[in-house]
Amino acid sequence: MTEPTLNKPGSGTVYTETVVYSPPEAYVNDVPYQLAIIELENGRRLTGRIDGERAQIGDHVSFVEFRNDVAFFRKNA
């Protein structure tokens, strides 16, 4: 997806996820971090980060904010 900043992605479901321990140079200070592909309500998928509580496949998540053009989501309570 090349235009993640055009619209706020809203909420969606975790299609798949991982927790990264071995980072690229740009994110050495972020590890461990959870990365996920979110299936949005409009059916499109977006790769973003999960903040806070760990999410699993099928969990519902909501968009929190963009940080440096990266979409951050949080697991719904």
Partner 1 sequence: MRPVAVVGIGKTAFGAFADRDLRSLAVEAGQKALEDAHAKTSQVEAFYLGNFAGPSFVGQNHLAPYVAAGMGIVGIPATRFEAACASSGAAFFHAVSAVAAGLYDIVLVSGVEKMTSQSTPKVTEILAGAGDLCGEVRAGATFPALFAMIARRHMYQYGTTREQMAAVAVKNHSNGAKNPLAHMRKVITMEQALAGKPIAEPLTVYDCSLISDGAAAVVIAPLERASEFTAKPVRVLGIAQASDNVALDEKEDITTFRAVKLSAGKAYKMAGLQPSDIQFAEVHDCFTIAEIIATEDLGFVKKGEGGPYALAGKTCLKGELPVNTSGGLKAKGHPVGATGVGQICDVAQQIRGEAGERQVTRDQLGLAQNLGGSGATSVVTILGAA
Cis, peptide link before residue 23, omega less than 30° from 0: no
Using the minimum distance from each CB to partner 1, give the nearer residue, 20 or 64: 20
Restricted to residues 7-66, the positions that interact with partner 1 (CB under 8 A) are 15-28, 30, 33, 35-37, 45-49, 57
Nearest residue to 64 (alpha-carbon basis) of 16, 11, 1: 11
What is the size of the binding site for partner 1 (CB under 8 A)?
32
Catalog residues that contact partner 1 under the rule CB under 8 A. Answer: 1-2, 4, 15-28, 30, 33, 35-37, 45-49, 57, 68-71
